[in-house]
Each structure stands twice: as C-alpha cells, then as structure tokens.
Amino acid sequence: MLELLRPPPHRGPLIAAGAVALAVGLGLAELRIDDALTPGYHLFALAVAAALVLTLGLQAPNEEGRPPAYRSVLLVTGLALLYGALLRLADALGDGNGGFPNATVTLTALAEAAAALAIAVRTRSAVCAFLAAVAAMVGIVAGWGWAFDPDGFSARRWLLTLGAGGLVLGSLVLRERRSREAELLVSAAGLATLTIALQALLEGIGFLGVFGGDGLPGFWELVVLGAGFGLVAYGALERRPGPAWIGAANLAAFIAVAGFFSDDTLRWWPLVLILVGAVAMAAGLRPRKPLPPEPTAYRAGDAPLASRTEEVVLRVRVDDAPPRSAGGRK
C-alpha cells in the first residue's frame, strides 16, 4: 500500500502542485462552511488530507542526500494541514471556546513542533527544521501566557530574545555541516525579534485592542535594531537572501516603532544613526596612502640564485667494443 503512495520523481512537481491546490481548497472550505458542519467533520477532512500529503512527502526519495523541491513542498503542505487538524481537534474537545486561548496555541504549537522536528530528522529537510523552531517559539511564548501572564507581553519579549539567541548559537553549531539548516535557524531568530516590534506596532494602531500604545522602551528598540543590522550583515557575508530580507523587515519595523511613538525631536536614534552612518562612510572613503613603488626588474645576470633556472645536460658515452677478458688480450 505504501508503495502506491511513493511519488515517481518525474511526476513529483505535479503531485506537489496538486497537494498545494488541495490544501488551499480545504482552507477556503474551512472558512466558508465553518458553522455548517460539526468540528468532528472538519477534523476528519483535515486529518485525512494531512495523513495523505505527509505520507507522500515521507515516501518521496531524496536526491544527493537532500530533499528535492517537490518533496519539501509536500512536507510543508502536510504540516500546514496537520496544524489545521490540531486546531480542529482542540475545538472538538471543547478547548476553543470560539477563539484561540493560550492553552490551545501552546499545545497545538508544541505538537506541531514535535512533528516537524521528527520529519526534519528523518528526511533531512531544512525547511521542516525551520518550521519546528518557529512552532516551538510560538508554543513557549503562548505557554508563558497560559501559565503566568495571559495579557502582558514584557516577559514574552525576554523569551523571544533568549530564544533568538539560542537559535543563533544552534546555527553556529550547524554552520559547517548543514549550512542550509544554519541559515534557516538564523531566519527563525530574526522572526522572533521581528515579533517584538510588530507587537508594539500593532498594539499602537489598535489592532490588538489597545490604541495609541507607548511603543517600545529604548532597550527593546536596540534589540530590534541590532538584530536587523546583524541579519543584513549575515545575509551579505554568507550570500543568503532570506536572512537579509528578514533583517530589512526588522529595520523597517524599528523605523515604524521608533518613529511613530516618539517625540518630534532628533534625539536620540536619528542623530546617533546619522552620525554613525556618516562616520562609517567617511572612514571607507578616506584617502588611501600611496602604495610603495614596485621593485625594479632584475637585469641579466643579477637574478638571485634561487630564481635562476639552469639546464643540466648529462652526456653518457656508450662503448660498443666487446669487453676484455680478465686474462688479457685474446
């Protein structure tokens, strides 16, 4: 039976495209007929689709030790369907209560992280390791709110920052052996710091129910700014566009938070950054000292002995005369 669910490599892209279309259709159906069916029917449809797509992804072969593109698409699509099934399971068990409380987010995110990590280890899929890291961070942050502080976000900022630091350390360990996994762990760390800025920004514009928030304290602005510069530098040095784009998003979020929720003054961030940027550019464009003149070429006969190449000719004389006997002449 499992052999029938092994995608042929030459048809893998077609199967993966069909899986994406199936997932999008199910997601649209979940929104349109949410109240028309009981949670059990929704759970059954999503669970069957997730099992089918994940089985196809797990049965697909690797190419040169790494998952091909169509296999990664199947695995990511299957994990997305699995998370939808987990949310429907929580709803069926009566934990949803019409929303997404911290308990539901914690348990479903940690279960999703465990499944993604197991798939990443089995298939050597870097993108599944990335999803596992992101889901684990979501579960940890939501778990803190579930256990200690349902409404506050101050402690969660520390959790996100510590988690980002742990992901960066993990990327350093994997840098030589698995560079792709290391890159995606850095990207996950960037998403963690980006969440800090987005929370303040969304709260300030009233999206989270609080209009006109105070923005971020100076320390957290520094964290977001440093993360943005670090990600852009990492992407430039390692030639990885993903972390660079996430770093640019961190810098854009920093500009929005530090610009909208501050006084009309150049103190302190604008003035400091303008001065630092101007000094750095001036240091890079400063006049260079003239290089010492090139040494003159050696004249004939003046070349050092180590650089001379002499041709050695060996002459060997061959005497065709017959050898004389030891007793004298014949």
- The C-alpha atoms of residue 216 and residue 208 are separated, in whole angstroms, by 15
Q: What is the pLDDT of residue 330?
A: 44
Q: What is the mean pLDDT of residues 49-54?
A: 94
Q: What is the pLDDT of residue 14?
A: 93
Among 133-142, 281-290, 316-325, the range scoring the smallest mean pLDDT is 316-325
- Supply the DSSP string of 67-89, one letter for each residue: --HHHHHHHHHHHHHHHHHHHHH
- The percent of residues above 70 in pLDDT, for the chain, comes to 82
- The pTM (predicted TM-score) of the whole model is 0.77
Q: What is the mean pLDDT of residues 90-114?
A: 81
Mapping DSSP to helix (H, G, I), strand (E, B) and coil, where does residue 205 land?
strand
- The C-alpha atoms of residue 326 and residue 330 are separated, in whole angstroms, by 10
Q: What is the pLDDT of residue 321?
A: 56
Task: Please name the residue that has the structure tokens 């260079």.
Answer: 288
Q: What is the pLDDT of residues 145-199, one digit of tens each?
A: 888 877 677 888 999 999 999 999 999 998 888 888 899 999 999 999 999 999 8
Is the pLDDT assigned to residue 283 strictly greater than 70? yes
Q: What is the mean pLDDT of residues 49-58?
A: 93
Amino acid at 102: N
Q: What is the mean pLDDT of residues 213-219?
A: 78
